[in-house]
Amino acid sequence: MTNGFKNLKAVTDFVDSRVLELDDDVRAVGWGSQESQELRFDYLIKDFNLNSKTILDVGCGLGDFLHYLKKSDIKDYQYIGLDISKNMIESCRERHQQDNVQFYQGTIFEYDFETIDVAILSGALSYKYKEATSAAKATLEKMFQLSTEGVALNFLSTTADYELEKNQHYDPAIILTWALNLSKKVSLYHDYPLYEFTIMLKK
């Protein structure tokens, strides 16, 4: 694969094993709690109206964003979940069988999705491997290319008090530079009580 995804097997193996070990626990996708996961989702969508929109969830994990959409009373959406993990996608297809929901296994570079209004990514760029930074940049660019309205992503921050060896942290200033090269309509949020930040780009 290109676009910084040559060494994804280690990431895929890790995620697949988490699903087998933890099933539908939020820890299977790397989150400490449901509360922290929902806070991340709050920030991802705060600048978007998702009613009647087609949403691409990159690195969808177990499809937890679907539960959040229902809880938030968002209406008439079409949801597309994408993940590199076969186990994740199989679990999603078993759990979420609504007519307005689709799931695909692979990277964002393997599919030409049409009519994506908003693309989001939560936590999928947090696993450290050799090409993580180049993969993150390419993923941001591809998400923005596919969307008609904009994108939102979160990243672990280099301003955190500590970093686990397995985690990939990012300099907010560098991510902001990437974003501003794509759009003048950029918001970066680094003001919530987690070791990360959320960036949004609009068309």
* pLDDT exceeds 60 at position 13: no
End-to-end Cα spacing for the chain: 28
Enter the tokens of residue 60.
Answer: 């969808």
**For the domain 9-202, what is the CATH superfamily, name and number?**
Vaccinia Virus protein VP39 (3.40.50.150)
Q: Which residue has the higher pLDDT, 156 or 127?
A: 156
pLDDT at 51: 98
The candidate with the shortest Cα–Cα distance to 200, out of 159, 150, 155, 156, is 150
Q: Average per-residue pLDDT in the chain?
A: 87
pLDDT at 66: 95
Mean per-residue pLDDT, 70-92: 94
CA–CA distance, 105 with 1 (Å, rounded to integer): 14
Largest CA distance in the chain: 44
Rounded-to-10 torsion of CA 43, 191, 18, 120: 30
Confidence band of 17 (pLDDT split at 50, 70, 90): low
Q: What residue ranges do the domains of the chain occupy?
A: 9-202
pTM value is 0.87
pLDDT at 3: 52
The number of residues in the chain equals 203
pLDDT above 70 as % of the chain: 84
DSSP 116-152: EEEEEE-STT-B--TTHHHHHHHHHHHHHHHEEEEEE
φ, ψ for residue 182, nearest 5 deg: -105, -30
pLDDT at 34: 78
Q: Which amino acid appears at position 47 of this protein?
A: D
pLDDT above 90 as % of the chain: 67
Q: What is the pLDDT of residues 20-65, one digit of tens each?
A: 454 454 444 444 567 888 999 999 999 999 999 999 999 998 899 9
CB-CB contact of 21 with 90 (8 Å): no
